[in-house]
Amino acid sequence: MASARASPGHGLRVLRALARTSLALTLQYRLEVLGEGLLSMLWLATALVPVWVVFGKRGAVEGWSYPEMLLVIAWFTLLKAFLEGTINPSLLAVIAHVRQGTLDFVLLKPADAQLLVSFSKVEPSKLVDVFSAFALAGFALHRLHRVPSPLDLAAALLLFLAALAVLYSIAIIVISIAFVAVRVDNLIFLFGSIFDLARWPSTIFRGTLAVIFTYVLPLALMTTYPALALLGRLRLPTALGALAGALVFTLVSRAAWMASLRRYTSASS
Amino acid sequence: MSATSADALSTNHLGGTDSPRTRDTRSALSHALRALPALLRTGFAAVLAYRAEILIWMFTTNMPLVMLALWAAVARSGPVAGYTQEGFTAYYLATLLVRLFTGCWVVYELTMEIRQGTLAMRLLRPIHPLLAHAAENAAAIPVRLVVCTPLIAIFVYTSYASITRDPILWLCVPLSLIGAWMITFGVMAIVGTLALFVESAMGLFQLWLGLSGVLSGYLVPLDLFPERVRAIALLLPFRFTLSFPVELVLGRVDRMQALQLLGAQWSYVVLFAVGTVLLWRAGMRRFGAFGG
């Protein structure tokens, strides 16, 4: 719907306007944002406690040293900030729209509906997690005495974008299910909790789990591969495979979204 | 509506011509006990209505499994401080089960009711709101037991050798689980009641959750911590909400220690219960529903 007007420039302008209003909305609650930011740091600290205990007992886990493990956790923290900071809240809002029948107002707007709903809400307190992730990665690279080459950095950035695309696609697929059966909004939280496993390097999994987390629900792609790229250890075929996988996920999610929009009849009809 | 009139409403139907406070309290209590079966029934029905949500909520409680994934990989190259791979599996499955049994959600409901003013409705009913909440939360436990059956089976199958054979410890397990639930409920009720005084009570609860993750043995078994941290963690209430029942099931304590710890746990139960009641009374004096 309304995709006839969608051109890249128009899309970008819409995106900018969305980000501005959403930010203005949440910045009304400044004190709360501050509190949430502090809590985010507490959560990160509690997430690191097990790692400190592990490396108090061992020098390496499945070939990952302490700073290398921190690098994976840094990517995980960054992705989780995006997941909880914009993907989840926006898509939960879509479910509320579907339930209340107000999605019609979104569909009537002269911009792509998927774009409109995807960035309708931003939680600025998650910016703290973004900073924490960079600090963690910086600390890890410092401990490794490693300055990534421009090529490594570019590869890591590319893989990070692929990871974001996969994460976002999975969320869109979940939402598309929500159009058919409204009561699956909890599936988002379910996915969020599985995503928690992405905080560890994927090589700690063996057997069936290793296959699932590489190909079906590609957690390996999301955090381990970008970390390997920064370490200059990612092989080219793996990187290309990851990018192709991300493309497939994106296309499938777009198709699922279009299909569920076609099925959608508003609450009153 | 003011607090005193709410208090009056909740007791005046007892209608004693001589109404000294003690008598009122006693008859209010017996009244509450008579209402308990009905409350549990409605609570149970509510849980059944939200079965899908509860099932998914239980699935999202996965942090012990996330930690197990890490420690299983660490223990692949040999035991860590006495924990083999099987030891970690037993520990984290037991942790998951205890967490699922003893969960409650009163803090979310209480803060919402206070913010939206619907607490006034609760106060109009002839039963203490906290008792009603406790009954509703407790009614979910049978459903959880049923849903957890497969997990219990897996736990027994994988960890049969680690489970204690001591009948005395097993007698302590249900008591410790009830104690753990009551401490959790008490903390949640206290934080929820604080919403009558401050706006950001939920932030406080997040703080409790964060500390609890580390100090209750939820993320890491307490005996893996450095000695000094461990000594502190063993004294704080967090341990009694989670680690203590797990230690009993896995036979990590002897009989004497078990009884002493049970005493300590129930002291915390009483402490939190008294704290809840006192804070609630103070809060009721402040409460005025919107539009009242």
- The answer to whether A35 contacts chain B (CB < 8 Å) is yes
How far from chain centre, in Å, is Cα B13? 32
- Rounded to whole angstroms, the Cα distance separating B25 from B16 reads 12
**By the 8 A CB rule, do A40 and A129 touch?**
yes
Any idea where the domains of chain B sit in the sequence? 3-8+21-286
Burial A187-214 (b: 16+ CB within 10 A, else e): bbebbbbbbbbbbbbbebbeeeeeeebb
Task: Using alpha carbons, select from B200, B228, B68 the residue that is nearest to residue B192.
Answer: B200
- The answer to whether A41 contacts chain B (CB < 8 Å) is no
SS3 state at B159:
helix
pLDDT in tens, chain B (292 residues): 344 444 444 444 444 444 455 556 667 678 778 888 888 888 888 888 877 777 777 888 889 999 999 999 999 988 988 899 999 999 999 999 999 999 888 899 898 888 888 888 888 888 888 888 998 888 888 888 888 899 999 999 999 999 999 999 999 999 999 999 999 999 999 999 998 888 778 888 989 999 999 999 999 999 999 999 999 999 999 999 999 999 999 999 999 999 999 999 999 999 999 999 999 999 888 876 554 4
| pLDDT value for A12 | 82
Q: What are the two backbone dihedrals, phi and then psi, of residue A65, each rounded to the nearest 5 degrees?
A: -80, 175
Residues A192, B69: C-beta atoms closer than 8 Å: no
| pLDDT value for B23 | 56
Question: Of B56, B89, B99, B204, which to mutate for an interface test with A (greatest number of A Cβ within 10 Å)?
Answer: B56
B14: distance to nearest CA of chain A, Å? 44
Residues 6+ apart with CB under 8 A from B271: none
Residues 6+ apart with CB under 8 A from B217: B95, B233, B239, B242, B243, B246
- Rounded to whole angstroms, the Cα distance separating B104 from B86 reads 29
Q: Which segments of chain A are extended strands (E)?
A: 60-61, 64-65
Burial of residue B194 (CB within 10 Å: 0-12, 13-18, 19+) is buried
Interface subset of A 125-184, CB within 8 angstroms of B: 183
**By the 8 A CB rule, do B105 and B53 touch?**
no
How far from chain centre, in Å, is Cα A168? 6
User: Nearest CB to B67: which of A50, A58, A205?
Assistant: A50
- Rounded to whole angstroms, the Cα distance separating B140 from B51 reads 10
User: Nearest CB to A57: which of B67, B81, B207?
Assistant: B81
**By the 8 A CB rule, do A224 and A202 touch?**
yes
SS3 state at A60:
strand
**Biggest alpha carbon–alpha carbon distance for chain B:** 76
Q: Find chain B residues with C-beta within 8 A of A84's C-beta.
A: none
**CB contacts < 8 Å between A and B, how many?**
78
Angle (CA) B10-B16-B17 rounded to 5° is 130
Q: Find chain B residues with C-beta within 8 A of A197's C-beta.
A: 66, 69
Write the ipTM.
Answer: 0.83
**By the 8 A CB rule, do A94 and A178 touch?**
yes
| pLDDT value for B289 | 58
- The answer to whether A46 contacts chain B (CB < 8 Å) is yes
Band of residue A16 on the pLDDT scale cut at 50, 70, 90: confident
Any idea where the domains of chain A sit in the sequence? 3-263
Angle (CA) A114-A120-A126 rounded to 5° is 120
A147-160: per-residue pLDDT in tens? Answer: 889 999 999 999 99
Residues B70, A192: C-beta atoms closer than 8 Å: no
Q: What are the two backbone dihedrals, phi and then psi, of residue A232, each rounded to the nearest 5 degrees?
A: 70, 25
